Amino acid sequence: MGEFSVFHWLVVLAIILIFFGGRRIPEVMKGLGEGIRSFKDGIAGGTATATAPAPAQPTVLVAPGGVTAKAGHGQVSINWNPSTGASNYNVKRSGTSGGPYALIASTAAVSYSDEGLANGTYYYVVAAVGSYGESAHSIEVSATTA
């Protein structure tokens, strides 16, 4: 008796009949056919009609552009262009070029005035904040108070 002999398939059919009964065989075959069809669609790159739509990809926030810093007496005024999808902006400051930067303000406006500063040079970056998180930092700008 070989693996694929007629006798082998008759034994398999008898076991299926015992477990499922004669009336359930068409349902089993229908499920098998749908499974094969779904497998072929998956291999071909198609989508099955019963699959859920792919979740929307998160919107990537772009760092604010046009950032400028203007020094005054004990203060620095920072301005920037709005970023699409941003609800707030995090303004960050450092005493050294390249950071590390400390968060000094979170604002919905497109400008901020950093006041009460000692004489020296300050470095600023701005990041957009939206429902998907925070953007990368803007370009660094600096201003020297006198």
Q: Where are the domains of the chain?
A: 6-44, 68-145
Question: Strand pairing of 120-130 and 88-94?
Answer: antiparallel
The backbone torsions φ and ψ at residue 40, rounded to the nearest 5 degrees and listed phi first, read -65, -40
Which uninterrupted H or E stretch holds 56? none
- Does 46 have pLDDT greater than 60? no
Q: State the burial class of residue 102 (Cβ atoms within 10 Å of its Cβ: 0-12, 13-18, 19+).
A: exposed
Q: Closest Cα to residue 51, out of 64, 65, 41?
A: 41
Contacts with 142 (C-beta within 8 Å, 6 or more apart), sequence order:
69, 97, 121, 122, 123, 124
CB 77 within 8 A of CB 65: no
Which uninterrupted H or E stretch holds 141? strand 141-145
Place 51 in a pLDDT band, splitting at 50, 70 and 90. Answer: low
- Report the CATH architecture of 68-145: Sandwich (2.60)
**Residues 9-30, mean pLDDT to the nearest whole number:** 75
What is the pLDDT, as a whole number, of residue 31? 80
Neighbours of 96 (CB within 10 A): 10
User: How do residues 68-112 score in pLDDT, each as one tens digit?
Assistant: 999 999 999 999 999 988 999 999 999 999 989 999 999 999 999
User: How do residues 107-142 score in pLDDT, each as one tens digit?
Assistant: 999 999 999 999 999 999 999 999 889 999 999 999
